[in-house]
Amino acid sequence: MTFQEVFISNLRNLRRDRKISQLKFAEMCDSSQGYIAAIEVGKRFPSPVMIERMAAALDIESYYLFQSRVEEAQALTPLQRERLLSRIGDLIDRELASMRWKP
């Protein structure tokens, strides 16, 4: 896959996974549905500013759009990341308590 194909695939898949229509996504990015459609079929490529808007609309870091395997990266939202870290901390605390850990 080319760099542009990776970007297009990730953008389209992430948008669809979040059940966001092209029209709604365009509104979220302060753009037009036609421009989003042109990007998704490879006729246009967004500017760095638009890439940042798109990433913000999808609640991801912009570099996730360029990873060759977004599915493996599992782009976490800040809230998901916070919850995951909290759960890991809780598990560690419980494990240490069960071992009667004494430093």
Q: Does residue 85 fall inside a structural domain?
A: no
Is the pLDDT reported for residue 94 higher than 80?
A: no
Is the pLDDT reported for residue 96 higher than 70?
A: no
Q: Which domain holds residue 20?
A: 3-75
**CATH number of residue 30's parent domain:** 1.10.260.40
Between 30 and 85, the more confident residue is: 30
pTM: 0.66
Residue with tokens 């999808």: 58
Sign of the dihedral through C-alpha 25, 78, 42, 9? negative
Reported as a pLDDT band with limits 50, 70 and 90, residue 85 is confident
Q: Does residue 97 fall inside a structural domain?
A: no
CA–CA dist 4, 12 (Å, integer):
12
Q: Does residue 92 fall inside a structural domain?
A: no
Is the pLDDT reported for residue 70 higher than 60?
A: no
The number of distinct structural domains making up the chain is 1
